[in-house]
Each structure stands twice: as C-alpha cells, then as structure tokens.
C-alpha cells in the first residue's frame, strides 16, 4: 500500500516535467545548431589562407614604381641597360595586375572605401602599359621612354605614397571592423555556450532527481515483488499440501482409484489400494482398463459404455489378473492435459458377493440335505427338460421316497430321521452323474432329472440307488443298526410331455405304484395301468 501512494506522488510530477524538459532540450539543440552554423561559416572562411591584402598591394606598386623610376634614371645615365628597364616595367605591370592571374586582393572593398585611390591606380596601370608597349616596340626609343618615365614617375610616386597611407588607414579600419565582428560573434557564442551550460546543469539535476526517484521506485517494486513471491510460495505450499492431503485421502481410501491416459495408458495417479490389489510393489507406469477387467464379455460391455456415454456407474465386474475379485466400478472419460483419460473408481464387493452367493444358496438349497429345494429343482429341471426336448434328446425323471419314514421318526427320533434323509441324499448323489439334477421335494421325497438317459438307463440307475440304500442302512443315536429302504418311480420323456410337471407326475405315479406293490422296489411308468391304479 505504501508503494502505491509513493507512485501516486512521483509519476505525475515526472510526467508533467517531460514537456518542459523537451522544450529545454529543443531550445538547446536550436542554440547549438545556430552556434555550429556560425562556427562552420567562420571555419569555411578560414579554410584557405589569403595571400594578398590591399596595403601590400599598394606598397608593392609603390616600391616597384620607385625602382622603375630609379632604373630609368640609370638608363638615361648609361648605368643600366634597356632590357633591365623592360624587365622592371613587366614586374611593375605584374604587380599592378588585377586580372585573375594576379594575387587576390579585395578590389571591391577598395572600390567602396577609396574610389579615388583606385582611380589613381588604374591611371597608373594605363600609363605603365603604355610604357611597356613602347619598351617592346621594334624600334625602341630609349631616350623618349626614359624621359617620359622620369617626367611622370615623381608625381605618380607621390600619388602612390598617398594611396599607401590611405589604404593603410582603410585597411586598419577594416581590420578593426572585422575584429569587432569577431568580438561580437564570440560574445554571442559565449552567451550561447553559457546558456547551454545552464541547460546542461538543469538536465543533469533533472537526471539525478529522476535517477533518485527511479531508484526509490525500483526498491518499492523489489519489495512488492518479494511480497508477491512470498505469497506465491505460500499458495504453492498450500496447494502442495492440498495435493498431498488429497493423495493421502485417495491412497488410504478403501476404494481403488486410477487415472490413466486412454491412448498411451500413462498413469497419472494410482492409489496404494489398487497397486496392492494388482499385486504390484510399486505403482505401474502404464495401465489399460481393458487389462484390468477379468471377464472378456464384461470388459467389452464396460469399454463400450465408457466410450459411448463417457461414463459408467456401479458396474459389477471381476478385476485383477491373478486373483480376480469382485468390484463395483464407476468410470469417467475425462480430458487431462488435452488428452483423453480414464478415471476409474472401484469398490471391493467380494464380501458382498460372497454373502449374496450364500443368500442364493439359502434360497435354493435345502439346509438338511444340501440338495436343491423344490422350487429351485423345478426351476432348473424345467430348463434342462426344455433343452432335452428341443434337441430331441432322451430324458428321464426319478421320484424317490423313503419307505416308512414316519415309523423311523416316531421310533428313533427326528435326529435319526434327519440322518436317514442325509444318508439317502448322499447315496443318490453317489449314483447320479454330474449332469444329472437332484432335489428334495419335501419330507422324505426326492426327485432327479437325468438328461440323455433312456428309460432303461434310468431304471438301471434307480435300481443302483435302491440297492445301495438297502445295503447301507444307518445307525441310531443309541448305536443300533437300522435298515431302511426307498421306493423309486421312473418315467422317460415322451412326446406327450409338454413340460416337466407331466413327466414328474408320471414318475410320481410309478412311485405310487411301487409303494402300493410292496415298497423297496423300482417301477417304471406304465400308461395303461395309470388310470385304474388306486393309491395304497
């Protein structure tokens, strides 16, 4: 919060000063450009040396004129030759020369300041040119020339002397003007440089101020950054803790949990429970759901439902490969990191399944003999009967009843009666094949359905049962040996049997017949006697 208030006070100040700074820098740039322009102009004018000046020019003219004058006198006196005079005249002319070949002189300046002097010099030049022409004429009249020179030169020398003085004065004035211009120029340059110095000082001050502010801001920023980092670290830690807690919860959950990619089978998460269930020491790197499911049919159903609806809820299936156990499975098709993944929750229902099986047994089995009870027998024998009938297979039913069971109960007690039923059930079971179906129909009565068995075969089996029981007998609680027998009625499947009941009824009728005709015997169903035979 401290940093935000500091920002509020400093940044608008900085922003406000930016246009002013910009104006200052622009002004400095303009001043510098002007100074640079002036300096460059001076540099340019000073780049080339200038050889000649007006004073030198006129003084040269004066001295050369004096030499010509002197030489003319010498020639006249015979002390010098004519070619010498010719040469000197040429030198004087070259000194006077103002064409491009001559030394550079500010004639225009001369013209402006001293027009009379310039006129005098021009007159002199014309005169000297005349002399030159005379001197170079084929017939040189030396006497006339020298006389002419001597006559005019003194007056011209006089003018030249005055010209030297005048030009000297004008030149000094010019020099002084140039000096003053230079002085003023440098004065202006000093002012500009001073202004630049002040501007630079101002900029340096602003820069230092800005640097201080920036330093303070960066410190605040660093502080804010540290706080932020701390908060991020804190959140990260909490998140990690949350993850660890979630992992712990999932690991300790009695459920099986796995999250694995659908395509690659890469395991994102698997809890301890499932790892143990799969008989692994460490969590597997890859896992496919189809490998987890034991039963192929269930597997297809499960995968199909998951692919089609994206979810499966509470499907019961055997999971695990080595020691499959019953589990209630729920699954979701989800997206993890842009890839399809399977999330599976399994709840172990092995105990539940065992209890269920037990209950089913209780519902279908007779507790005393361990055989199917009447309802279960009828249910299953109906299925078996229909199968045989549909496929035209032979099939036979036996009805078995313990003889004089009431007497056994009454004389030796219910324990002995129960023993007799158990012994009887065991003996029948021993005699039957695995495919045969046996049930206790109630009391001391048993029924068996023998698929693929003809009437003769069934009779043989029935006889074996009867014989075995007659031989076995049983012991009373008092230790006495007690013999007991059974009567058996046999009926084979015939076209008129539309269901199991008519077949059983026929077997029952045969049993009735066996009971009536003396017990401990096996009788086959005989249709003609069926209607007339009275019960015993």
Partner 1 sequence: MIPRPTHALPALLLASLGVLWLPAPLRAAPVCDAPAGRGALRLESTPSGARQVCGLQGLKKLPSREIVTALPSALGMPGEYRWKGVPLRYLVEQLGGGERSRIQLTALNDYAIQIPWADLVRYDPILAYSRDGQPMGIREKGPLILIYPFAGNPQLENQEYLNRTIWQVNAIFVR
As given in the structure block, the two tokens for residue 520 are 């401990």
Q: Which stretch binds partner 1 (CB under 8 A): 79-87, 108-116, 395-403, 422-430?
A: 79-87
Among 38, 56, 107, 288, binds partner 1 (CB under 8 A): 56
The DSSP letter of residue 527 is: G
Q: Which is nearer to partner 1, 145 or 257 (CB)?
A: 145
- Cα–Cα distances in Å, from 107 out to 58, 61, 127, 227? 11, 14, 20, 84
Shortest distance, position 19 Cβ to partner 1, whole Å:
47
Q: What span, in angstroms and rounded, lies between the C-alpha atoms of 98 and 460?
A: 167
Q: Which is nearer to partner 1, 95 or 117 (CB)?
A: 95
CA 208 centroid distance within chain: 44
Shortest distance, position 85 Cβ to partner 1, whole Å:
10
By CB under 8 A, tell whether 49 contacts partner 1.
Answer: yes
Q: Which is nearer to partner 1, 88 or 440 (CB)?
A: 88
x/- string (CB under 8 A) for partner 1, residues 89-128? Answer: -xx-xxx-x--xxxxx------------------------
Q: Which is nearer to partner 1, 133 or 221 (CB)?
A: 133
Q: Is 264 helix (H, G, I), strand (E, B) or coil?
A: coil
Shortest distance, position 143 Cβ to partner 1, whole Å:
19
Contact of 526 with 492, CB cutoff 8 Å: no
Q: Which is nearer to partner 1, 70 or 150 (CB)?
A: 70
Q: Which of 498, 488, 311, 513 is nearest to 402 (CA)?
A: 488
Among 35, 55, 465, 492, binds partner 1 (CB under 8 A): 55
Q: Which is nearer to partner 1, 61 or 341 (CB)?
A: 61
By CB under 8 A, tell whether 45 contacts partner 1.
Answer: no
Helices (H), 391-499: 405-431, 455-472
Among 60, 327, 487, 524, binds partner 1 (CB under 8 A): 60
Among 45, 51, 108, 139, binds partner 1 (CB under 8 A): 51
Q: Which is nearer to partner 1, 4 or 48 (CB)?
A: 48
Among 6, 31, 70, 470, binds partner 1 (CB under 8 A): 70
Q: What span, in angstroms and rounded, lies between the C-alpha atoms of 78 and 484?
A: 202
Q: Which stretch binds partner 1 (CB under 8 A): 18-26, 77-85, 359-367, 477-485?
A: 77-85
In what helix (H) or strand (E) does residue 324 lie, and over which residues does it extend?
Answer: none
User: What are the phi and psi torsion angles at 434 (to 5°)?
Assistant: -65, -35
By CB under 8 A, tell whether 480 contacts partner 1.
Answer: no
Q: How many residues does the chain have?
A: 536
Among 6, 14, 31, 80, binds partner 1 (CB under 8 A): 80
User: What are the phi and psi torsion angles at 513 (to 5°)?
Assistant: -60, -45
Among 53, 369, 416, 487, binds partner 1 (CB under 8 A): 53
Q: Which is nearer to partner 1, 134 or 328 (CB)?
A: 134
Shortest distance, position 83 Cβ to partner 1, whole Å:
6
Q: What span, in angstroms and rounded, lies between the C-alpha atoms of 293 and 126?
A: 134
Q: Which of 136, 129, 156, 134 is nearest to 145 (CA)?
A: 134
By CB under 8 A, tell whether 154 contacts partner 1.
Answer: no
Among 58, 71, 287, 441, binds partner 1 (CB under 8 A): 71
Q: What span, in angstroms and rounded, lies between the C-alpha atoms of 206 and 203?
A: 5
Q: Is 295 helix (H, G, I), strand (E, B) or coil?
A: coil
By CB under 8 A, tell whether 63 contacts partner 1.
Answer: yes
Q: Which is nearer to partner 1, 57 or 512 (CB)?
A: 57
In what helix (H) or strand (E) does residue 498 lie, and over which residues does it extend?
Answer: none
CA 275 centroid distance within chain: 31
* Residue 326: Cβ within 10 Å count: 20
Q: What span, in angstroms and rounded, lies between the C-alpha atoms of 439 and 449?
A: 9
Shortest distance, position 71 Cβ to partner 1, whole Å:
5
Those residues with Cβ within 8 angstroms of residue 158's Cβ, 6 or more apart along the chain or in another chain: none
The site that binds partner 1 (CB under 8 A) totals a number of residues, namely: 34
- Cα–Cα distances in Å, from 362 out to 357, 408, 436? 9, 27, 21
Q: Which is nearer to partner 1, 51 or 532 (CB)?
A: 51
Query: How many CA within 13 A on the CB side of residue 67?
Result: 17
Contact residues: partner 1, CB under 8 A: 48-53, 55-56, 59-60, 63-64, 67, 70-71, 74, 79-81, 83-84, 87-88, 90-91, 93-95, 97, 100-104
């Amino acid at each position: 919060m401290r940093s935000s208030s500091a920002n509020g006070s400093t940044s608008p100040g900085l922003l406000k000063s930016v246009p002013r700074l910009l104006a200052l820098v622009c002004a400095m740039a303009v001043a510098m450009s002007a100074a640079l322009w002036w300096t460059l102009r001076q540099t340019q004018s000073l780049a080339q040396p200038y050889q000649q000046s007006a004073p030198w020019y006129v003084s040269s003219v004066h001295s050369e004129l004096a030499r010509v004058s002197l030489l003319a006198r010498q020639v006249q006196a015979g002390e010098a030759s004519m070619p010498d005079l010719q040469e000197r005249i040429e030198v004087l002319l070259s000194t006077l020369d103002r064409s491009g070949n001559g030394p550079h002189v500010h004639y225009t300046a001369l013209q402006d300041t001293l027009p009379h002097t310039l006129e005098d010099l021009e007159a002199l030049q014309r005169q000297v040119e005349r002399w030159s022409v005379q001197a170079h004429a084929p017939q040189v009249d030396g006497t006339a020339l020298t006389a002419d020179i001597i006559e005019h030169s003194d007056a011209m020398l006089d003018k030249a002397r005055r010209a030297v003085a005048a030009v000297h004065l004008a030149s000094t004035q010019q020099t002084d003007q140039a000096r003053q211009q230079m002085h003023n120029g440098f004065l202006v340059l000093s002012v500009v440089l001073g202004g630049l110095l002040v501007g630079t000082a101002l900029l340096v001050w602003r820069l230092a101020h800005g640097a201080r502010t920036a330093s303070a801001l960066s410190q605040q920023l660093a502080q804010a950054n540290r706080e932020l980092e701390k908060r991020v670290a804190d959140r990260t830690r909490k998140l990690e803790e949350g993850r660890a807690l979630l992992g712990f919860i999932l690991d300790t959950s009695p459920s099986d949990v796995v999250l694995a990619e659908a395509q690659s089978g890469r395991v994102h998460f698997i809890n301890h429970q499932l790892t143990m269930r799969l008989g692994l020491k460490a969590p597997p790197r890859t896992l496919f759901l189809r490998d987890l499911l034991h039963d192929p049919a269930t597997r297809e159903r499960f995968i199909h439902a998951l692919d089609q609806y994206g979810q499966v809820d509470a499907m019961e299936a055997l999971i695990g490969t080595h020691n499959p156990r019953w589990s209630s499975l729920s699954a979701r098709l989800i997206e993890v990191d842009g890839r399809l993944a399977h999330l599976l929750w399994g709840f172990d229902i092995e105990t539940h399944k065992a209890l269920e099986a037990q209950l089913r047994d209780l519902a279908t089995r007779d507790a005393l003999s361990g055989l199917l009870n009447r309802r279960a027998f009828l249910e299953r024998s109906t299925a078996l009967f229909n199968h045989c009938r549909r496929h035209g297979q032979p099939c036979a039913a036996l009805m078995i009843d313990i003889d004089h069971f009431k007497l056994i109960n009454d004389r030796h007690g219910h324990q002995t009666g129960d023993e007799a039923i158990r012994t009887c059930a065991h003996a029948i079971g021993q005699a039957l094949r695995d495919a045969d179906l046996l049930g206790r129909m109630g009391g001391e009565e048993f029924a068996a359905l023998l698929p693929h068995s003809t009437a003769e075969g069934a009779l043989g089996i029935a006889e074996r049962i009867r014989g075995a029981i007659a031989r076995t007998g049983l012991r009373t609680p008092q230790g006495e040996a007690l013999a007991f027998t059974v009567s058996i009625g046999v009926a084979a499947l015939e076209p008129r049997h539309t269901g199991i009941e008519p077949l059983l009824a026929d077997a029952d009728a045969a049993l009735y017949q066996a009971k009536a005709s003396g017990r401990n015997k096996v009788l086959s169903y005989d249709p003609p006697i069926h209607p007339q035979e009275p019960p015993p």
